[in-house]
Structures are given as structure tokens and as C-alpha cells.
Amino acid sequence: MKTILSRVIPWLLGLLVLGSVFYLFSARDLSAEKIIERALRKEKKITSYYTLLETAINLGSSMRNYYVEVWFHSPHFYRVEIYSSSPEEGAEPEQVFVSDGGKTWIFSPDMDDFYILNPLSQDLTPPPFLLATFLKSLSQARDAEFIGMEKRKTGSCYLLRVIPPSPGRRNAWEKVWLEKKSLLPVQIDIYDSYDQLQQTVIFHKTIVNPEINQELFKI
């Protein structure tokens, strides 16, 4: 028995060393530019998606949490519903954005009705929480750095440090987790110029290319 173990253990240790060397070589060969390029190529194959995410915003004295549901259908239809508690628990949305590609409406709880956004506002304000908006920001980043791999419940993730196209005091840089297989965002942490966390976005569920009822994009 001891003779068998004395032969097997060095073999296993050799495999472990080879695996470690292969992992380090693979990780070193990765770059933020290559990862982002692959993510953009995958995004071109997405014609529709559904996302449920949670965001926590630093208000100074406290953190405010919101849940967001997003439905998107190519080329330009989307519906965004924002909740103060989980929609899976039957909560009603506090704000709703709907776009048919030509116009965008917003639901006002005060008026209990939808009203159209000013065309100027639509040009200046990017649609909230859209995958295309996130990837566009990623592709136009002032700087992006691959800082490692991390295991999550959803699987292995690429971890990037990103300086956005137009960094500000409250959005100076971002830490981005991209799921290795799908290259979709899993989490985004946004930091200010003093390296204080200002916002966290966690993607609880993302379904790519589902069947979406077109009635969702009508008022």
C-alpha cells in the first residue's frame, strides 16, 4: 500500500503543479481589451433578454436599495420597472420606462399615468440598466484592467477595474464582474474619487433571447 502511495502522490503533485502553471499562464495571457472584445461579439448575438437586478445606492448616511426588472427586444424596444422591494414578493413598480424605439414614456405614480419624455431628455439620458448601455460604456472606457478571476455562485468571473468614459466625483472608477462563460455582468461596484463605494449593482437573473410578449412595449 505504501509503495502504491509513494508512486501516486508524486504523480498527483506533478499534475497540481502543471495545472497551476497552466492557470497562471492563461490568466497572464488575458487582458481587459480581449475580454471586452469577446463580450461585444457575444452581445451582437443577443436579440432579446430579461434581467432582474438589485442596486444599493450610497446616500451618505444610509444605503437605499432598489430592484429593477428589464425586458429588451431588438432593435430598440425596452421596458424598465423599478421597485423599492423585491418584485418576486408581489411589489408594485414605483417607476416604469417604456420605449417603442421612437418615443419613451415614464410612469408617474403621482399622476397614475404615463407621460412622454422630452425628446431632449431622451437624447441626453441613456436608457437605464440596459445591457447595450453598459457594454457601450465598457467599450469606451478611458482605461480597463484585468485584475483576476473570482469564483461566484454563478461560476467563475473575470474581474475588471474600469475607468468610465466620463468619470465624475461619484463615479470615478468601477469594479466589474463578468461571468466567464456568458460574458454577462454579474456585479458592478461604483466608487468615488476617494475610493468610497457609492453604488452596487447585482444581477440576480439574466435570461438571453427569451420569447417576450410585444404588449409589454405598448402603453
- The average pLDDT across 116-141 equals 73
- Alpha-carbon distance 148 to 24, whole Å? 10
Q: Closest by alpha carbon to 154, among 206, 200, 189?
A: 206
Return the C-alpha cell found at 148.
483576476
Q: Closest by alpha carbon to 189, among 32, 50, 58?
A: 58
β-strand partners of 105: 98, 116
Residue 92 has pLDDT above 50, yes or no: yes
Across 19-23, 45-49, 61-65, the highest mean pLDDT is recorded for 45-49
Q: Alpha-carbon dihedral of residues 120, 55, 67, 117, nearest 10 degrees? A: 0
The CATH H-level superfamily of 32-217 is: Lipoprotein localisation LolA/LolB/LppX (2.50.20.10)
- Alpha-carbon distance 108 to 106, whole Å? 6
DSSP classification of residue 180: T
Q: Please count the other Cβ atoms lying within 10 Å of the Cβ belonging to residue 73.
A: 20
Residue 105 has pLDDT above 80, yes or no: yes
- The average pLDDT across 70-81 equals 92
- Alpha-carbon distance 102 to 122, whole Å? 10
Counting residues of the chain whose pLDDT is more than 90, the rounded percentage is 52
DSSP three-state, residue 106: strand
DSSP three-state, residue 61: coil
Q: Which residues contact 71 (CB under 8 A, 6 or more apart)?
A: 48, 49, 50, 78, 79, 212, 216, 217
pLDDT band at 13 (very low <50, low <70, confident <90, very high): very low
Residue 67: its pLDDT value, please?
Answer: 95
In the chain, the DSSP E strands lie at: 48-58, 63-73, 77-83, 95-99, 104-108, 113-116, 143-152, 155-163, 173-179, 185-191, 197-208
∠ Cα 79 127 87 (to 5°): 40
